[in-house]
Structures are given as structure tokens and as C-alpha cells.
Structure 1
Amino acid sequence: MSRATLSLTVTGLLFSQLVLSQPKSAFITEEDMLGELPSVSSVARMVQPLNQVPASVTIIDQQLIKASGAMTWVDVFRLVPGFESYYINGNRYGIGYHGFGREFPNHLEIMVDGRPIYDPVFANTEWGSLGISLEDIDHIEIVRGSNAPAFGSNAFLGAVNIITRKPVQERGWQVGVTAGDQQTRETTVRYSGNADKLDYRVSFNYQHNDGFPPVSSGDNRGPMKDGREMLALNLRAMYTPNITDTFDLQAGYTHNNSGWGDADSPAEYADVQFKNQYQSLKWNRDLINGDGLQIHLYHNRIEGENYINQGLVSNLLSEELGFTITPEQVPGFFQMIDPTLDIEDQHYIVGFQGIDSERYDVELEHRLHLTPNLRATWGAGLRYDNISGKTVFGHGGDESLTSRRLFGHMEWEASSRWTMNTGLMIENNVLVDTIASGRIAANYHFNPLHTLRIGYAIGRRSPSLGEARELNVDVLADQILVQAIRKSAESVEEERLKSLELGYLAQLPTQGLTFDVRLFRESVKDGIDTYQAPADLGIPSLGLDETISVRDNNSRWVTRGAELQLRYQPTEHTLINAHYSYRDVDSFYISRYEPYFQIKDHDERAPRHTAGMLLFQRFAAGWSSGINIYHMTAADWRDGNPVEQFVRVDAHLGYDFAVGSSTGNLSLIGQNLGGDYMEHAQNNVFETRLFLRLVLNF
């Protein structure tokens, strides 16, 4: 019997035995369960119970993360219906909502404690440079559906707010160590303390692994070289000088070194280094009658380096032509292409080389109660983005963008049966001038436990600075085009969304059950995609038929489907979490205008069905056990390969212990306890993986 089969069998037997033998005294009483129902603040910028929010929401708390045995962000978001969560390579993650498997998903706003971490260069989130560990999380609020009316362009199809634990929630030291397959070594160290009115936490995170295993078949055998070495330092300090004011300071630095490349060509992988820093300051003041005021300032900076030396031009030409080109012959060779060229033999450097991206943002938010049944949130913000990088814009200078925004939301409890929500976001920048996103929703409460919701949203998404002005080409000696990769059209406009949804929410606290259904139709026009065109850049080209990908508003799609999620916790020891998603896409995009017109579609770019079920049981003497099953049907990923459907089974066995005043947990985690499957690309083979994790609190 293999170790994977043995681990799954033992976990299953323990789980089954525990459920059958659970004493009645372990059940939570009705008094215990009738506490405050979960509330969220990331939908309409005000704290609302789930049955009053204008959109579908998933909450992932620390209990659910631990119960799932999650090791990475990919594992976490596979607990959410409608999400595509995949490994682009061993340590690069693609996480999106209702996307098509792109290398850089770009329709989902990701925030950490309300601080957006959307990168204006790649127009998505660099998860490897996030810096926080899964143990830092208190809970995650995930808005499934356009939240552009609340957070603007980047929340075009959804929004995620990762809320970390406050320093006051813990005291003392926590040390965590993980080791396992793929040469995985992880260490987290946290210390939380206080000094009078100041609570603070300092944390250190280290991660290392070797990525996906080497390719053992086909024409591209050899190591993937997509491993990772990451070091992160974070500080959070909360100062409360009086009962009305709170200052929340956060700062961090991350150094992430990992392998980037195309999984179809493992030999071409190269190291990429990212240095990420951030500073964030929030001032919250509680006003009379439950009103509140918040000012949030933050700064993000990402520096990336990816220099790949392909060797001397003379050697590359000799290899390509099949006969020797000496260094002295290099100038004459290029002059045969164009007499004006003056190129000596030199090293040919490719990659995105040096990129520096900075963002400064300030926002004012005012929460107020207008009447006992009517409350609102309004605010304004100013953002400045600056990017430098020769391979981003085709020149060594900077490009910058200043954006302004104004937003407002209202919640009206019209009666005991009806709750109405409206929201509006107005944004302005030189790329799109002025755009507006809006939402209206009505929640009908059959009773306090059952709610029916209907909502309609109009979303507008401004392209990022990188999307609007990119010119990514490899030019030798600033004189001749060697490879054309991608450029932006002269005028990339905003993307447009119309979304209609019908939702049902049941919250049965005495049974420990929450059940949510979402039916939706999303129509996107002027979607940003790429088409192929001749690479006419006004300079000589080494290739006679060189083409370039041009980014423009050349796609549209309609997505219809249904999502279900269920959380069932009948006792304090038992947890069942399940979800299912169905999606049907009708789409097209123009892939070429000349020399002939060509249209393609995204209809099969994402799985039609995804589903998951987590079973967790805690039992006597500190032991616990969990099984997490995830299923995805076949998909032909946009920036990957066609992959077959798979069922993945993860399991873990945990033991909580105490030594004096210290506590700890020891966990054995098994991932993919079955046959191998392909992750996003055919060379990304996910095998069975085993890990041992130890956490100590003292």
C-alpha cells in the first residue's frame, strides 16, 4: 500500500469513527448558537449582516483555512464557488473570478486590510510578494460579483479583502515550521505585545521549495527551475489614545526570488526577483450616533528584475544560420539587412529586465446614520501610479497616472421585510476621462433566517497604466527588432459590464447551517484582449514576417450560471463546507484583422463545473482530522494548455498539545492523495505531496 493510500485510509477511518462516537454533550446549545450572525464590510463599505448585503459573499475564516489543510493561496481560493485558482508554475498563482485562465487575471480587486495590492504593471496581483502567511489571517471577505461600485475599476468582477489578525487578539510568541516534499521549508515567527495604549505585532516569514518536479517525458525533459526563496518582514501597530480614535500602522518588506517561464519550454525558465514594500496608515474616529470617519494613506512599491543573458550575438547567429559568424563579421551581417545599422558583437540581454512600480493613495470615508432606518457611506480618493521599465513602455523613462474617485452607498430598511441598497462609484483619469459604476439591490426577508435578493450592477473598468501604454519588444542595440511581444493600441478604452443576479440566503443558527445560492448573468463588452498584427514599429526587423500581440477592446462575452455554498457546523467539533459552480460562456474575440479576418472564442477556456467538499472533525485528547475533496472539469486555459478533469483529495491529521503555559499543534498534511494531474499546463504535474507542520505558542 502506498503512503498516499495509507494516509487517506487512516484519516477516513478516524473521521468515520469520530462521527459515530461523538457524545451528545458535545452539541452546542441553542443559546450558544443564537449569537451575532456574521457581518461583512467589503460589499457596501459599511458593516452589514449577510442578509442585508447587496451581493453574494463568501467568508473564509481561520478555522476553515486550518480545517482544509491549505498550504498556498491557490488552496484557499479553491474553497470558493466560481473561482479559478491554479498554479501557473510552481510558485506563480493565477486567481480570478469568472476568468479564462490567464497568466495575469485582471478583473478581481485584492486587498489586505483594505489596502489594494493590484499592480499597475501586470494589472493583477503578484501573490508571491504578498508577504503575509496564512496564519496571519483572521478572515477573508470575498464578494462574488461586480464590486466596482464600491472599490472601482479593479473590482470589475469581484473583490477580496484579506483581513489580518489585530495585535490585540494575541500575545506572546508564535513559531511555525513546515517541511515536506518539493524540498519545502517554511518558517514563521510572530511576536505580539503591548505598551500602554499601543498594541503591536512583528512577524517574519520564510519560504523555500523546488516547484514542480522535472519533466520526464516528451521533447523538453529536464528540471522546471520554478522554485522559490521568499523572505518577508511585517509590522502592525494599533494605537488607541482615547475611546474615539484609533491609528492603525502597517509596514512590510518582501524579497521573493522565483523561476518564471513558459511551462511548455522548461529550459527557458529564468530567475525573477521581486522586492516589495508597503506602508499604510489608517485613522478611524468614532462619531456620535454610530457615525464614523476614516482617512487611509498607503504606499506600495514593487521592484522586479529579470535579466537573461542569451550569449554573444555572433554565437547566436552562428547557431541559427548553421555556419560560423565571427565577431568581426557581425557589423557586416546587420548592414546587409539595413546599411544604416551600426551593431558590434555584444551580449544579447532579454527578459523584462528592471521594473519599478509605485503607488500612492489617500482616501476619505465617512459613515453616517441619516435616520433610524437609513444609513450611508460616502468618500473620495486620489491615487498616483508611476512605472519605469524599458520593456514596459519601450523606453527607459517613467510613465505616470493620476486617478480620482468619488463614491457613495446607501442602505434603507424600508420595512421588516425589505432592505434596499444603492451604490455609485465615479472615477476619472486621462485614459478614460470619467466613468461610473453603479448598483441597486433589494433584499426581501421572508423572516430573519431566509432572504431573497435581486441585484443589478453596471461596471466600468479603466485599463491600468501598463495595459494602456505597453510596448514590450526585444531590440538589439536600440537599432533592430529581434522579437516583438506585445503592445497596446493607440486608444485602449474602458471595459463595460452589465450584471443581473438572483440570490437566496438561509441562516439557521440553531442547526449551525448557512446556505447560499446565486444565479447570475454577466455581459461584458469592449473586453480587453489581444490580436495578432504585423510588427511594423518603424525600425528594421530581423524577421521578415514578425508579428506582435496588440492589446485592444476586441472581445465580448456573456456568462450565465449558478453557484451554491453551504457551511454546516452542527457541533463545536464538526464542520462540513461544500460548494458548487456551473458556468456557461458565450463569447468571441477578434484574433486577427490582417492579412485575413479571424474570430475565436473563450467558451471552453474555463471549467464548466467546479465543486468541493471539506469534512473536518475534532475529537478527544486533542486530535483532529480532515478530508478536502476538489473537482474540476476539463478546461483549455487561455494562457496555458488544455487540461483534463480531475478530482483531488487532500487530508490532514492534527494534534493539539500543551506543555506548561505553552500550546502547540502538530499536523501531517497530504495533498492530492491519488493520481497525478496537470495544473494549467501539461508539464505542471501535481503529484502526491506530504508535509509536516509544527506550530508553538508561548
Structure 2
Amino acid sequence: MLIALLDIKRPTYFLLLLVSSTINAANLWSEDASSISSPAVLTETDILVDIPIVQVATHMDQTLAQTPASVTIIDRQTIQASAALGVIDLFRLVPGFQTYFVDGSRMGTTYHALGDEYPRRLEVKVDGRSVYESLFSAVDWSSIGVTLDDIEYVEIVRGANASADGSNAFLASINIVTKSPLVGSGWSLNSQLGSGDIRNVNLAYTGDLGSISHRTTLSFRSNDGFDDSSFQGQPLKIDDSSDNISATFRGLWTPNARDSLEFQAGISDSNQGIGEREYIERNLSYQYQYVNWSRLMASGSKLQMLLYHNDMDVSDEITPLFLSQALGLSDSSPGWPLPGLPDKLVIDAHDRSESERWDLELRSIVNPRDNLRAVTGIAVRYDRVKGQELFDRPDSLSETSQRAYTNLEWTSSDRLILNGGLILEQKNNAASYFSYRLASNYQLHPEHIIRLAVNRSFRSPTLLESQQKQVVRYNDNIILDASVISDADINNERLRSMELGYLGYLFDRRLRFDIRLFREQLTDVINERRSGFPDLDNFVNIRDNTDNFNVDGFEIQTQYKPNSQVLLRAHYSYSDISGETIYTSPPALEIRDLGLHSLKHGAGLLASYGFDNGVTLSSMASYSSATKHYRGTAAENYTRIDLKAIKRWAINRANIDLSLTVQNAGDPYSEFYFYNQFKTQYILGLKILMP
């Protein structure tokens, strides 16, 4: 029944059905319509309770009742109560998200579909600055320079958000908002020691440099990764330890009442052990600069200019390999495949790659009428990548893209809010493409809102996806082995989606419910197919538009905050993937089912209670049903329990927190690869705040 209603081919029928149901429900509602206030009017309840304001969905300040999409907010209280050690752990609190460690160095999170070792189709921003890299077509979470201590809150749009954030916000988008330099002052020191040689230290100072308020941080994170394991009955040494050092600066200057200038800069350096059964050492150096200028106009409108620059250098230490070593033959052997040509070093000991981005955006937020708000923006982006191994060329590849967008919010009546978003994007003078979103939020009652939204989104290939040519050469004319080559005619990915949402409040807004029913139809999804190729093993992986599938399901999340001491959060998600991928292309065509990669059931619970004596106890539970990680291995269902206890003391003007965190207080479970066994971890933490 649900699938029939959500059939994207019948949106008109569905819209009529929703409107009819809404009118009937409103007529039956016993409360007089005149007593229902406009969402823009604050009531006494609004003043006494926390009303989250988000920007991630449209770049306008909106309450959850006004947003055109399902949004999850992870606030500061939730972060402190959670048993998370890193940013990636927070997404275990979000319905529909799959979160995992590919190895001890690489972390991944994806929404609904096909999470591999480098998850794509998810826009991630830090204070509005995109941090996904064209070189990986993904986010390297170890390099973004953000620790849990730095975060004020996280906004997550569960669903396509391309109309606001561009084509990479294909399935969902995340904005991590860091602490403002205007909040608090003084020193903060946070350190953690624990199992697996976890050694984390974060030092921060908030203060003033003349008229500039700033927050400056220095952090170090290190761990030894997963324990050694076995593979096919043989011992497997897992060499995936990592360490990272980073420094960030966030400054804010307000020369007058109208203007504000925010500028950020950061650097980080990581050493990582990465691999699948065989490991190499990777050094990753990252830096960024970011400027955000805002001006408030007399009319109440706002102008913004955002400019940022990201730069990443990647260096892999690889064991040198001669052709004779790879073949197990000498160049004098009768089976030598290159008669008359001598042995040669075909894989060097060093491989270096680069990724760089410049992005400039101009944005205007206006209120042309009392019931109408609009965001309009234009932007230009320059991406450059370089890497001999990935692209089979010594020079750089680059592309320039432009985008123009608008998002409108129209309060049609006291009950109805309409949102519309449209973005036009173009790359390197190629054909332009539109993505759009339409949504209506209807207020059945001041505390009960239903939402209907439809999306049409495109995702363009990154430079890696469109230009990859990963080959091993003997010389310019002879390719010994081809790993991955991008198809010359690779196209944009396409998404059509429809969702029906409900947002409800009970007990004076202390209890919040959010329900989302959805259908997502993805076509021309970029993946790899195996094909014949004239090298030594006679095949290659072709990166192409190989996948077509639907994702159907529903999600529920709830939060209960009766007072400042109690916090309860829970979620459940169900999603089912039905579709196919081209595994091998002609002449030996093989089509495979994508359904086995569904994470059909996911659930989570966070419970926290703060006692009057400064002790806070928390527990997190996460459940995942059995699945097969895409490009990983099969994983059984598991339930993970995390525990945390904090004791706070106030000594003179300083606050001291001592904490004990237990992650996975139970049997080990596998993360992405079956031999990566996540065992019980004990972490002791010390935090000192000195104003």
C-alpha cells in the first residue's frame, strides 16, 4: 500500500489525496481555527522552551515546522551526553545513516544507499565550507580539523538538498557548526587515554585580539587501529594505526552594527595505515582558508559573500615492485611476457596526489513581503587534482563550475507554508542541469505539522569519477595492468524522490516526534563494471553509470527533554533497496541484485541523566541488521552498547570533568571488513575549563 502511494509516477494523485486528507482532518479538529497562530508568531510556550533554528535546508533561519525537509539536530547537550569519541560517531544517532570504520584510519558514513570505502553523494560542510574532496569523491574525516569539543551543533538534512547545497547533496547534507568566538572565554583542555592506544588531546583558547574575537585550537589524535586477525585461516597483520595533529583559528570582527567579518584558517597533518589485508602508509597534509562577510540591510535583508580555499596533499609509501616480482618470473624465463624487453621497476616507492578547491559565493536573503522570504545566490568553483597513479598523467586536471540558485518560503496562511528551491549548475561549458524541490507544510494544530516534498536532483561526476585512469605501464606504449578507467561518456546521476513527513510536539514541546516516509528512485548511478582489456590479466574495471535502484522506507526519531537533567533520544529506520547493477559488461554481461546491500533495520537510543552532585550517566545503544557492505564484506546484525559517566567539580573559577567511556560493552562485531573486529574499549577523559 505504501509503495503504491509513493509511486513517483503518480505525484498528482498523491498530492490530491494528501490535500483531501488534510482538509478532512482539519474539519474534524475540535479546536477553533482562529486560536491557531501563525508559525511566525511566538507564544509563551515558544519563549519558555528551546525552539531549534536551522539553516542547512534553505540557508534561511527556519524552525523545524518551516523546513521543507526532514532535519536532525545534534545539539551541544547531546554531544556531551553521547559516548562518541569523534565526529563520525555522532551519526549513529541519526536515522537512516550507516556509520563504520573501513580501517582504523578511514571512517565512512552514508545515508541509505551503497556505502563503500569512500562514501559519496553526501555533502558535508563545516560552518558552510564544503569539505568533500574531488580526489577521493568523499570526505576524509581525519583531516577536517574538527573535534567534538569544537562543535556547537550539527544539522543534518535527511533527503536530497541539492537545491540549496548543489549536486553533491544528492541523498543528504550535513553542516557542522563550530563554537563561536563570542561564546565563553579562557582556556579549555581535553585529554583522553584508552584501549587501542587511544591518545587524544585538544587545547583551545577563546579571547580577543584587539577588536577581533577568536577561538584558536590545537589538537592531537592517535590510535593503533584494529587488532591483528586472520583471513582464510592465515594470520593477518592489520597495520592501520593513525595519528593526526591539527590547528585551527576562527576570528570574528564586527566593525559596526551592520557588518561582520568571519575568517577561519586551519592546517592538519596525518599519518595513516590504510588498506584491505595489505596496508600502506599514507601521509595527508591539509589546509584551508575561509572568509564570510555579512551585511544587514535597513530593510531587514542580508547580503553575504563566502570565499574559501581547500588544499590537500597525499603521499603514499608503497613497496617498490619489479615486473619480475609481480610475475614470479625472470626476464630470461621462457614464459616472460615481453620477449626482448628487460625487467623493469613498474611501481615506484612513492605516489603523490594533490587536490585543490577555490569557491566564491554571493548570497542575498530578502523579505519582499511579510509572508514571503527568499534566498538567491550565485557561485563559481574551481577544482584541480593531480596524481600520476590515479590519472596516468604528470600534469593537473581541472574544472570550473558555476551555480545559481533560489529558495523561496511563502506563508500562504496561518496553516500553510510553501517552500520551493531551484538550482542551475554547469561545468566546463557542458550542458547545464536543474535540480529542484517543492514542499508544503500544513499545520493541523500548532503542535502538529505534516509535510509533503518532491525532489528532482542531479549529481555530476567528480574529477576522479570522470577522469580516472589507473594503470601500470612498462612504457608509453605497453600497459601491463589496468585497474580502473573512467568511461568517456559518463553521465550525471539522477534522483527522483518523494516524502511524506510529520512533526509533532507533546507535553509543552518537551517531547518531539519526527516521522518520514519516502521513496527514492536513483538512475544512472556511477559505479564500476568489469570489462575485457588487453593487459596481462585481460580485464579492467570501467567507471560508468551502472546502477539503477529504488529505496523505499520510513524513519522515526524522537527526543524527550522534560528538564535540564534528563535527555532521551531514540530513532528507528527501515529501508529496502530494489535494483540492479551491471557487474560485467558485454560480451559476458552479468547483472547483479543490489538488494543484499540494504541496511533494512537500524535503531538507536541515547539516555542521559544529570544528578545534582555533578555526576552525569549516559548510555547509547545502536542496532544494525545484517547486511553486505558495498565493496566490503558481509556483516551480521549487532547491538552495540556504549556507556559514559562524568563527574564535574568546580574549583575556584575552573571546572574539571573526569569521565569514563565504555564503547561496545559486549561481544565484538565487524566493521566493514569481517576481520575488523570492534572490541570493548575503555577511555578515561579529563577536561579542564579555565575562564
Question: Is residue 111 of structure 2 the alignment partner of residue 97 of structure 1?
Answer: yes
Query: How far apart are the structure 2 equivalents of 1:479 and 1:333?
Result: 23
Deviation, structure 1 residue 31: 6.6
1:624, 1:47 → 2: CA distance? 32
1:452 maps to a residue whose letter is: I
Amino acid at match of 1:154: N
Residue equivalent to 1:586: 578
Cα displacement (A) at 1:629: 0.6
| In structure 1, C-alpha distance between the alignment counterparts of 2:109 and 2:160, rounded to whole Å | 16
Distance across 2 between alignment mates of 1:96 and 1:312: 38
Tell me, in whole angstroms, the C-alpha distance in 2 between the residues paired with 1:117 and 1:334. Answer: 52
Instruction: Please report how far the alpha carbon of residue 217 of structure 1 lies from its aligned counterpart in structure 2 after TM superposition.
Output: 6.5
Task: State how 1:49-198 maps to structure 2 within 5 Å.
Answer: 49-198=63-212
Asked whether 1:388 is paired with 2:380, we answer no
TM-superposed deviation, 1:589: 1.2
Secondary structure at the residue paired with 1:570?
A: coil
Asked if structure 2 preserves the Cα contact closer than 8 Å seen for 1:642 and 1:682, the reply is yes
**Structure 1 equivalent of residue 28 of structure 2:** none
Q: CA deviation at 1:592?
A: 1.3
Deviates more, 1:436-445 or 1:101-110: 101-110
Q: Which residue pairs with 1:337 in the alignment?
A: 337
Aligned-residue offset at 1:32: 9.2
Q: 2:275 aligns with which of 224, 247, 261?
A: 261
How far has the Cα of 1:65 moved from its partner? 1.4
Alignment partner of 1:237 is 2:251: yes
Q: Which moved more, 1:609-618 or 1:479-488?
A: 479-488
Do structure 1's residue 43 and structure 2's residue 57 form an aligned pair? Answer: yes
State the SS of the aligned residue for 1:78.
Answer: helix
- Higher mean C-alpha displacement, 483-492 vs 376-385: 483-492
- Whether the 8 Å contact between 2:320 and 2:345 is mirrored in structure 1 is no
1:348 counterpart = 2:347: yes
Q: Distance in 2 between matches of 1:482 and 1:220?
A: 30
Tell me the residue number matched to 2:317: 307
Confirm or deny: 8 A CA contact 1:350 1:474 kept in the other structure.
no
Is the 8 Å Cα contact of residues 101 and 606 (structure 1) preserved in structure 2? no
Aligned equivalent of 2:8:
none
Query: Are 2:689 and 1:671 equivalent residues in the alignment?
Result: no
Matches of 2:585 and 2:270, distance apart in 1: 40
- Does the alignment pair 1:556 with 2:526? no
Bigger shift: residues 555-564 or 390-399:
390-399
Structure 1 residues 218 and 392: alpha-carbon distance in aligned structure 2, compared to 1, 3 A threshold: closer
1:3-46 deviations in whole A, cap 9, x for unaligned?
xxxxxxxxxxxxxxxxxxxxxxxxxxx97973451110010111
CA contact (8 A) 1:431 1:462 kept: no
Alpha-carbon shift at residue 535 of structure 1 (Å) = 2.2
Q: Secondary structure at the match of 1:626?
A: strand
Distance in 2 (alpha carbons) for counterparts of 1:334 and 1:151: 59
Contact 1:373 1:412 in 2 (8 A): yes
Counterpart for residue 23 of structure 1: none
> Is 158-167 or 444-453 further displaced after alignment?
444-453
The residue number in structure 2 matching 1:525 is 523
Is there any run of 5+ residues in structure 1 with no aligned partner, and where?
1-29
Structure-to-structure mapping, 1:592-607, within 5 angstroms: 592-607=584-599
Task: Spell out the pairing of 1:146-545 with structure 2 (5 A cutoff).
Answer: 146-216=160-230, 218-262=232-276, 265=277, 268-317=278-327, 320-321=328-329, 325=330, 330=331, 337-338=337-338, 342-346=341-345, 348-349=347-348, 353-430=351-428, 432-478=430-476, 480-508=478-506, 510=508, 512-536=510-534, 541=535, 543=536, 545=537
- Asked whether the 8 Å contact 1:44–1:150 carries over to 2, the reply is yes
Q: What letter is aligned with 2:631?
A: D
Question: Displacement, 1:607?
Answer: 1.3
Could you report, residue by residue, the CA deviation over 1:530-571 in whole angstroms, capped at 9, with x for unpaired residues? Answer: 1101124xxxx3x2x331111111211111100000000112
Q: Does 1:697 align with 2:680?
A: no
> Which one-letter code corresponds to 1:624 in the other structure?
T
Q: Secondary structure at the match of 1:269?
A: strand
Distance 1:314 1:458, change over 3 A: closer
Q: Could you tell me how far apart the structure 2 residues matched to 1:395 and 1:482 are?
A: 16
Report the Cα distance in structure 2 between the residues aligned to 1:167 and 1:476, rounded to whole angstroms: 56
Cα distance in 2 for partners of 1:495, 1:311 equals 38
Q: Which amino acid aligns with 1:291?
A: S
Task: Name the CA distance, whole Å, in 1 between partners of 2:404 and 2:321.
Answer: 52
Q: Distance in 2 between the 1:107 and 1:140 partners?
A: 18
What SS is found at the alignment partner of 1:52?
coil
**Distance between the aligned counterparts of 2:561 and 2:419, measured in 1?**
30
1:356 CA displacement:
0.5
Q: Distance in 1 between matches of 2:604 and 2:249?
A: 35
**Alignment deviations for residues 233-270 of structure 1 (CA, whole Å, 9 cap, x no partner):** 101110000011010000000101111101xx2xx111
- Structure 2: which 5+ residue stretches go unaligned? 1-43
Identify if the C-alpha distance between structure 1 residues 82 and 250 changes in structure 2 by more than 3 Å, giving closer, same or farther.
same
Report the CA distance between 1:338 and its aligned residue. Answer: 4.1
The residue aligned with 2:20 is none
CA RMSD of aligned residues (A): 1.8
What are the Cα deviations for residues 46-67 of structure 1, in whole angstroms up to 9, with x where unaligned? Answer: 1111101000000001211121
Determine whether 1:640 maps to 2:652: no
CA offset at residue 198 of structure 1?
1.1
In 1, distance between residues paired with 2:477 and 2:616?
A: 65
Distance 1:32 1:440, change over 3 A: closer
Counterparts in 2 of 1:32 and 1:156: CA distance versus 1, 3 Å: closer
Q: 1:427 to 1:315 in 2, by over 3 A?
A: closer
Matches within 5 A, 1:561-576: 561-576=553-568
Instruction: Output the CA distance in 1 between the equivalents of 2:221 and 2:477.
Output: 42
Query: Shift of residue 344 of structure 1?
Result: 4.5
- TM-score of the superposition, structure 1-length normalised? 0.90
The normalised TM-score by structure 2 is 0.91
CA apart distance, 1:620: 1.9
User: What one-letter code is carried by the residue in structure 2 that aligns with 1:233?
Assistant: A
1:564 counterpart letter in structure 2: I
Q: CA deviation at 1:102?
A: 1.0
Kept in 2, the 8 Å contact 1:309–1:347? The answer is: no
In structure 2, distance between residues paired with 1:432 and 1:158: 25
Say if 1:62 and 1:135, in contact at 8 Å, map to a contact too: no
Which one-letter code corresponds to 1:71 in the other structure?
L
The residue identity in structure 2 corresponding to 1:227 is: S
Determine the C-alpha separation between the residues in 2 that align with 1:31 and 1:423. Answer: 31
Aligned partners of 1:431 and 1:493 also within 8 Å:
no
User: Structure 2 CA distance, aligned partners of 1:475 and 1:431?
Assistant: 33
| In 1, Cα distance between equivalents of 2:143 and 2:338 | 44
Does residue 624 of the first structure (1) align with residue 616 of the second (2)? yes
- Specify whether residues 431 and 605 from structure 1 end up closer, same or farther in structure 2 by C-alpha distance, changes over 3 A only: farther
Question: Residues 177-221 of structure 1: CA distance to partner in whole angstroms, max 9, x if unpaired?
Answer: 100000111100001101343101110010111000111574341
Matched positions, count? 647
The answer as to whether partners of 2:372 and 2:408 remain within 8 angstroms in 1 is: yes
C-alpha contact (below 8 Å) 1:334/1:343 kept by paired residues: no
